[in-house]
A = this chain, B = another copy of it.
Amino acid sequence: MSAVPQRRYVITFGCPDRTGIVARIASFLAEAGGWIVEAAYHTDPDSGWFFTRQVVRADSLPFEVDELRARFAGVARSLGSESDWRIEDTGERRRVVLLVSKAGHCLYDLLGRVASGELDIDLRAVIGNHETLGDITRAHGIPFHHVPFTGDKQDAFAEVAKLVDEHDPHAVVLARFMQILPPHLCEAWAGRAINIHHSFLPSFMGARPYHQAHARGVKLIGATCHYVTADLDAGPIIEQGVIRVDHDDAVADMVRKGRDIEKITLARGLRWHLEGRVLVHGNRTVVF
């Protein structure tokens, strides 16, 4: 996980487990001169499915990413995997669109990471159902679109979708966006829409999780970064974090303490997603 922004190809691949998969993929790469800088494997014992993520130095291969994809397709096919693979080129910066509401902590955090160069993404736009966070977004040089949700929600979502889709983003991040995505957008953005939920799921699904947590008297509160699916707060979990609370913490204190966990958990999950580390398998994730 070096921070050097060397160009790399990230291969993620899944197929039914059997003998010789690693040898097949590694030999294919070795024959082309590919220098593997990261490699991770996992087999799910329940489903017998094999997963791998391989990162290859782009300059070690004598051809471009399209040719790599074309050649790898044959390898994948020979291992029984027609479509469960992907090769991404880190030379193409990751395009991201953020959806926000009024709460700014996740947005501020992500803007800071982008500004400091820590998160090297192409942040195309921020879309808010309130104008609240417009100024700070624009101060960072990022376009901000205000799409009010006070009228017809279907129309509002249509406008959001239009503003998002024109960027063909690698990630659509619901950074404390307080609206529930309609099923057709969950479908359209499957595997790309990432939400941060302010509880340690599956505890306290739905509205006002900190109020629920306070009422139950838990001693730790948490946050969950997950892919958005039509099943509310039930999508595949990418990352979770927790922080201690005690009897002195009113709901307002939980809200405050929880923010730190939310923003860090979201930033971590987003990074992993954009680095191609997260492979979805049913309703669970493999995070390499």
Interface on A for B, CB 8 Å cutoff? 1-4, 19-20, 22-24, 26-27, 29-31, 33-45, 60, 103-105, 108-109, 111-113, 115-116, 118, 136, 139-140, 200-204, 216-220, 222, 236-242, 246-250, 252-253, 255-256, 259-260, 264, 267, 283-287
Contact = CB atoms under 8 A, between A and B. Distances in A.
Contact of A30 (B22, B113, B140, B242): B22
Nearest 3 CB-CB pairs, A to B?
A108-B112, A3-B252, A217-B284
Given A1-B250, A200-B220, A256-B118, A23 B29 contact: yes
A26 B22 contact: yes
A44 B285 CA distance: 27
Q: Which of A26, A200, A217, A241 has the most CB of B within 10 A?
A: A217
A220 B203 CA distance: 12
A237 B252 contact: no
Q: Is the interface of A mostly helix, strand, loop or mixed?
A: mixed
10 contacts: A19-B30, A20-B26, A22-B29, A38-B41, A103-B116, A109-B112, A139-B140, A202-B204, A219-B237, A242-B242
Nearest to A253: B1
Nearest to A280: B217
B218 A285 contact: no
A4 B35 CA distance: 35
Contacts of A248: 1, 42
Given A19-B35, A30-B23, A139-B136, A45 B220 contact: no
Contacts of A40: 40-41
A136 B109 contact: no
Contact of A2 (B220, B238, B252): B252
Nearest to A237: B217
Contact of A283 (B105, B200, B217): B217
Given A216-B283, A220-B200, A19 B34 contact: yes
Contacts of A22: 22, 26, 29-30, 36, 39
B250 A237 contact: no
